[in-house]
């Protein structure tokens, strides 16, 4: 799955960096060689920019940390200031090694290895004498990020919580209660979703949409549909990026509209030229209201000669293997 930062947004950040320089904003070089850039929105707030040996700049501002971009406006400002320094034949900036460990209290790079604790490397800062453990993606976590990621992957592959716990015990000799796994799912899915929503997917311009029956607690249906609901999925046909996944109690145009509206929102302006669906009448009304100017190819299915929905049907097949009411409540 591929993501990219649009050239437009990159140009805007560069322009903001130039405006900061033209407005007289100055940067400060710290003793360890990093640069402090004042925040434009918060008084007495500074962001730290560092230059690494691969000619890569890193900033600790939220824009750079969470959007995984190449350069934020603070980095562009530092680059402009260093260019001015170069033209004036002033000293070059200090370059950090790629594996440098910063003190989590004072930010110094003068840190040394200082034994281990609970299987994790401990470091000591020579400047402030502070001892700290090896940085982790999961704060105060007893288990590694790799193990947590594995449990999430197994869960959404269809395994139950108890089966995941048994697999970890059998293959990795790690004893984890199934309630711990559930707490990880509830905690980290929202964090992952928030991060994914900041990314811009690469789309092909052709979408596929389909719906399937799922079990759901609290469903109001009786008779043949008792205990059932409908899960509407919209994905890009070529890249297989899942643009939307919405649950509705009824198989009607409202459910299809909600799914398409979420897909449009997640596409970040990259609207399709065509969309493939099955013959259900809900799609005709939903597409006419949300995407009226695109080519709607109806009556698509597995191995249909004019157009097929094989990839999204395969996705639905995977979902049928493990969907339960609990999973739907989390989604």
Please report the pLDDT score of residue 284 as a whole number: 93
pLDDT in tens, 162-177: 999 999 999 888 899 9
Across 150-171, average pLDDT:
87
| E runs forming strands in the chain | 28-29, 35-38, 46-51, 57-59, 111-117, 120-125, 131-133, 206-215, 228-236, 242-248, 274-276, 295-297
Task: Tell me what the pLDDT averaged over the chain comes to.
Answer: 81
Please report the pLDDT score of residue 331 as a whole number: 40
Residue 303 has pLDDT above 50, yes or no: yes
Confidence of residue 254 (pLDDT cuts 50, 70, 90): very high
Length reported for the chain: 331
d(CA 174, CA 154): 15
What residues does each domain of the chain span?
A: 7-87, 145-196, 206-330
Across 244-265, average pLDDT:
92
Which of 3-12, 147-156, 281-290 ranks highest by mean pLDDT? 281-290
Confidence of residue 93 (pLDDT cuts 50, 70, 90): low
Kindly tell me the burial class for residue 77, based on how many C-beta atoms sit within 10 Å of its own C-beta (0-12, 13-18, 19 or more): buried
Kindly tell me the burial class for residue 101, based on how many C-beta atoms sit within 10 Å of its own C-beta (0-12, 13-18, 19 or more): middle
The answer to whether domain 206-330 has CATH 3.30.2350.10 is no
d(CA 161, CA 151): 9
Give 235 or 199, the one with higher predicted confidence: 235
pLDDT in tens, 43-61: 888 999 988 765 688 898 8
CA distances from 241 to 74, 82, 121, 226 (A): 32, 40, 38, 32
Residue 80 has pLDDT above 50, yes or no: yes
Residue 324 has pLDDT above 50, yes or no: no
Confidence of residue 6 (pLDDT cuts 50, 70, 90): very low
d(CA 267, CA 261): 10
Confidence of residue 140 (pLDDT cuts 50, 70, 90): low
Which of 234-238, 299-303, 320-324 ranks highest by mean pLDDT? 234-238
From the DSSP assignment, how many helices (H) and strands (E) are in the chain? 10, 12
Residue 69 has pLDDT above 90, yes or no: no
Cα maximum dimension of the chain: 82
């Amino acid at each position: 799955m591929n993501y990219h930062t649009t050239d437009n947004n990159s140009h805007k950040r560069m322009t903001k960096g130039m405006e900061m320089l033209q407005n007289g904003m100055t940067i400060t070089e710290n003793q360890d060689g990093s640069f402090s850039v004042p925040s434009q929105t918060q008084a007495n707030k500074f962001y730290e920019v560092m230059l690494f040996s691969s000619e890569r700049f890193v900033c600790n501002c939220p824009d750079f940390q969470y959007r995984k971009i190449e350069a934020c406006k603070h980095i562009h400002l530092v680059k402009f200031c260093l260019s001015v320094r170069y033209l004036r034949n002033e000293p070059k900036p200090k370059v950090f090694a790629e594996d440098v460990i910063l003190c989590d209290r004072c930010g110094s790079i003068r840190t040394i290895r200082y034994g281990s604790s609970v299987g994790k490397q401990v470091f000591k800062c020579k400047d402030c004498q502070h001892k700290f453990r090896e940085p982790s993606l999961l704060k105060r976590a007893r288990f590694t990020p790799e193990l947590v990621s594995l449990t999430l992957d197994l869960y959404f592959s269809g395994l139950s919580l108890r089966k995941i716990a048994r697999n970890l015990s059998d293959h990795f000799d790690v004893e984890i209660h199934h309630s711990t796994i559930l707490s990880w799912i509830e905690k980290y899915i929202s964090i992952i979703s928030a991060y994914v929503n900041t990314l811009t997917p690469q789309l092909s311009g052709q979408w596929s949409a389909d719906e399937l029956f799922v079990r759901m607690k609290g469903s109001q249906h009786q008779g043949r549909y008792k205990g059932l609901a409908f899960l509407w999925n919209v994905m890009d046909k070529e890249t297989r990026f899942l643009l939307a996944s919405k649950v509705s109690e009824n198989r009607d145009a409202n459910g299809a509209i909600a799914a398409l509206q979420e897909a449009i929102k997640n596409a970040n302006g990259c609207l399709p030229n065509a969309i493939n669906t099955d013959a259900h009448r809900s799609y005709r009304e939903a597409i006419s209201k949300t995407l009226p100017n695109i080519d709607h190819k109806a009556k698509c299915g597995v191995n249909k000669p004019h157009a097929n929905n094989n990839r999204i049907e395969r996705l639905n097949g995977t979902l049928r293997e493990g969907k339960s009411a609990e999973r739907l409540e989390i989604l």
